[in-house]
Amino acid sequence: MKQENREQEEELRRFRRLVRLLSSPDFAESNQARRAIQQIGGKAIDLLLILLEEEAHKRRRRLRLHRRVVILLIAAVLIDLAMIIFWFDALPRYLRTGWWVQLLSSFSLFLAIVPDRHKSVARMLSEFDDLRIVGPLLEARNQLPDIRKEIETALISLLPRLKSSDSALLTPIQRTSLYTAIQSSNAVFVVTVLQALEQIGNGDALPYVEKLIGGKSKTAHDVRVQEAAQTCLPFLQQCAEQEHAAATLLRASSNADPAANSLLRPDFANASIPPAQLLRASIAEERQEDV
């Protein structure tokens, strides 16, 4: 087992080096790395999915840190203004420049930059033809606006192949990414998403489609989008009704009287007839029935 883990770690380490070369300024070097990854085949998809999840996790950590820095930046600006207004003459010269505000601003901008490796992994993954990458690409579409068009192009060819049995391929977060994709400015992509919802959609997608039909979308006035939305709407309404009925039945069963499911037990402690007499009476009745 340890030997297998070492081999897997070494394989992932070598693959990381290939992915790092994808963002190389040398076109020949990056193209060679791309061809090498494509030659790996299906195993490359598994490794790319691992790296994409790692990059997404790093991004979430950066965003949390970015929010904290922004809060500190706002506080620093307010403190700086207060010091300038009330105590400017008494401040040392090095405190009059507001250097901490500039430092926090620079750090905040640094955290907002998306690493090239995250883009390279998502871009490389979008070149494969496998339904397993649909969910991760939907999530990456929201995280990487710089390559959103490339991801949408890949999804346009993948989403129509989804069937109702493929619902488990998407996590709840990825499903939300699919629903919010309806707001895209790419009409062809929106139509593809609406068609996919007829296979893997549920009641949670209903508000997004209703908003689109109501004209609250960038592509709401496109005839193709409206036709696809009207076709998709009855299916989602039926899903919502079924989910509501199932939830109602579940609540009813959970609120059922517990006494109805309880077993009745004889209270021998308070019984006035000894148990031995009850036993003899039952035996006597059985004998009478046999006669």
pLDDT class for 287, splitting at 50, 70, 90?
Answer: very low
Cα separation of 176 and 139, whole Å?
A: 9
Q: Is the pLDDT score of 163 beyond 50? A: yes
Give me the sign of the Cα torsion angle 32, 35, 39, 42. Answer: positive
Q: Could you tell me the two tokens for 48?
A: 């790319």
Cα separation of 230 and 223, whole Å?
A: 11
Q: Could you tell me the two tokens for 44?
A: 């490359």
Q: Is the pLDDT score of 150 beyond 90? A: yes
Is residue 213 packed enough to be buried (19+ CB in 10 Å), middle (13-18) or exposed (0-12)? middle
Q: Is the pLDDT score of 267 beyond 60? A: no
Flag the least confident range among 29-38, 102-111, 163-172, 260-269: 260-269
Q: Which of 251, 45, 224 has the alpha carbon at shortest distance from 136?
A: 45
Cα separation of 87 and 208, whole Å?
A: 53
Residue 267, SS3 per DSSP: coil
Cα separation of 257 and 118, whole Å?
A: 55
pLDDT class for 252, splitting at 50, 70, 90?
Answer: low
Domain extent listing, the chain: 12-137, 156-249
Residue 273, SS3 per DSSP: coil
Mean pLDDT of 188-211: 94
CA 173 to the chain's CA centroid: 2
**Matching residue, tokens 């346009």:** 156
The pLDDT, as a whole number, for residue 284 is 46
Residues 187 and 223 sit within 8 Å (Cβ to Cβ): no
Cα separation of 144 and 146, whole Å?
A: 5
Region class of 274: left (phi > 0), else alpha (psi between -120 and 50), else beta: beta
Quote the radius of gyration of the chain (alpha carbons, Å): 32
| Strands annotated E in the chain | none
Flag the least confident range among 158-167, 180-189, 234-243, 245-254: 245-254
